Amino acid sequence: MSTDILISEVGPRDGLQPIKSIMPTEKKNAWMDALYKAGVREIEVASFVPAKMLPQMADAADIVRHAKTLPGLTVMALVPNLKGAQAAIEAGVHKVTIPVSASAAHSLANVRKTREEMIEEVKRIAQYRNDHAPQVKVEAGIATAFGCTLQGLVPEDEVIWIAEQVIAAGADESGLSDTTGYANPAQIKRLFRRLKSAIGSKAGAAHLHNTRGLGLANCLAAYEEGVTSFDSSMGGLGGCPYAPGASGNVVTEDLVFMFEAMGVKTGINLDLLFEARKPSLQMKTGF
């Protein structure tokens, strides 16, 4: 089916990451199967981090192996460092995404590295990809691009500088993340316009949160600036544990409804999507 935009489901990673009750591997696989049946064609399936730090993601390699059985699905995983990228690439992912924070305070809290150290980490990951798996895409998303609960204001010039640096380091694309849910539509338009001017076609996805109820409005603003890739999570699951007070992602069901109602093709069947949301709602309520 032809589509106008890509909606990337991040529930199995970003959504589940802050939840203490662990979803069994077979239920995660069933969830991905249901998302795929509904027409979702990119899923962030897991993060490759030490199991002792994040038990929810201990089965990351098994999840990737199952996801790869779904034809045409782009299997994506979050990796915070070279070791995680090596494990993800060995498991067979099609795409790795690296969180690089625009906020100095958030960078230290989230990945225990400075922003400059994370840029060097992107360079190492890109080089490893070039040497061992050139078919794998490398994305470096700029977290806290619109403000930070730890630091406060994040200068827009620094956001654009970091995006330019990660592209120079070898990332294939760099998008903007509203990790804390601070963004407003005018800010979204301004910063995505600047991003596209700075890195051109390598400008990537909008990863927006709904902390203050502006998630959909911000997605629409990004779309009006030419953004065609959006991250979202079933039932609005998610939220960064290192961004105090920030709640979940844009709701996938709402995002699909909005765009389809506007005549913007997502390739996703809304009725089947509602069937796929049951596991995410169970996790949200603790079932």
What's the confidence (pLDDT) of residue 17? Answer: 86
Long-range contacts formed by 158-162: CB under 8 A, 24+ apart: 158/102, 159/102, 159/191, 159/195, 160/191, 160/194, 160/195, 160/198, 162/100, 162/102, 162/115, 162/119
What's the confidence (pLDDT) of residue 228? Answer: 98
Rounded Cα distance, 258 and 59, in Å: 34
Residue range 146-164: mean pLDDT, rounded: 95
What's the confidence (pLDDT) of residue 19? Answer: 84
What's the confidence (pLDDT) of residue 247? Answer: 73
Rounded Cα distance, 173 and 191, in Å: 16
Spot the catalytic one: 162, 240, 276, 283: 240
Above 80 in pLDDT, residue 194?
A: yes
Rounded Cα distance, 36 and 192, in Å: 29
Three-class secondary structure of residue 116 per DSSP: helix
What's the confidence (pLDDT) of residue 248? Answer: 83
Residue range 247-251: mean pLDDT, rounded: 88
Task: Pick the closest to residue 237 from 225, 229, 249 (CA basis).
Answer: 249
Catalytic residue status for 148: no
The rounded radius of gyration (Å) of the Cα atoms in the chain is 17
pLDDT band of 254, cuts 50, 70, 90: very high
The 10s digit of each residue's pLDDT in 66-118 is 999 999 999 999 999 999 999 999 999 999 999 999 999 999 988 999 999 99
For the chain, the domains span 6-285
pLDDT band of 285, cuts 50, 70, 90: very low
Reply yes or no on domain 6-285 having CATH 3.40.50.360: no
What's the confidence (pLDDT) of residue 238? Answer: 84
pLDDT band of 62, cuts 50, 70, 90: very high
Rounded Cα distance, 258 and 114, in Å: 38
What's the confidence (pLDDT) of residue 241? Answer: 66
pLDDT band of 272, cuts 50, 70, 90: very high
What percentage of the chain has pLDDT greater than the value 70? 94
* Mean pLDDT, the chain, whole residue set: 93
The 10s digit of each residue's pLDDT in 2-30 is 799 999 999 999 999 888 889 999 999 99
Rounded Cα distance, 176 and 203, in Å: 9
Residue range 276-281: mean pLDDT, rounded: 70
Above 60 in pLDDT, residue 283?
A: no
Above 80 in pLDDT, residue 239?
A: no
What's the confidence (pLDDT) of residue 281? Answer: 55
What's the confidence (pLDDT) of residue 57? Answer: 96
Above 70 in pLDDT, residue 286?
A: no
Above 70 in pLDDT, residue 219?
A: yes
The 10s digit of each residue's pLDDT in 37-53 is 999 999 999 999 999 98
Residue pair 199/164 in contact by the 8 Å Cβ criterion: yes
Above 50 in pLDDT, residue 201?
A: yes
pLDDT band of 159, cuts 50, 70, 90: very high
Rounded Cα distance, 225 and 166, in Å: 22
